[in-house]
Amino acid sequence: MTMIEICEKLEDCSRKLIKENGLNAGLAFPTGCSLNNCAAHYTPNAGDTTVLQYDDICKIDFGTHISGEFLEIIPWEGEVYAIETFGSTGKGVVHDDMECSHYMKNIDVGHVPIR
SS3 category, 15 = helix
- Mean pLDDT (10-residue bins), the chain, 115 residues: 92 92 89 85 89 90 85 60 53 57 62 67
Q: What are the DSSP E strand ranges found in the chain?
A: 25-35, 58-66, 69-72, 93-94, 102-103
Q: Are residues 44 and 61 in the same domain?
A: yes
Do residues 62 and 111 share a domain?
Answer: no
User: Do 27 and 68 reside in the same domain of the chain?
Assistant: yes
Alpha carbons 94 and 77: distance in angstroms, whole number: 18
CB atoms within 10 A of CB 86: 19
Task: Identify the domain containing residue 19 by its residue range.
Answer: 1-73
Q: What 8-state DSSP symbol labels residue 44?
A: P
Domain check: are 51 and 83 in the same one?
Answer: no
- In the prediction, which pLDDT does 106 show? 64
How many structural domains are present in the chain?
A: 2
Nearest residue to 102 (alpha-carbon basis) of 55, 53, 89: 89
Q: Quick one: pLDDT at residue 88?
A: 58
At residue 9, the pLDDT reads: 93
| DSSP letter, residue 80 | S
Q: Are residues 17 and 52 in the same domain?
A: yes
In the prediction, which pLDDT does 22 show?
Answer: 87
- Which pLDDT score, from 0 to 100, does residue 96 have? 58
Judgement on whether residues 36 and 47 belong to the same structural domain of the protein: yes
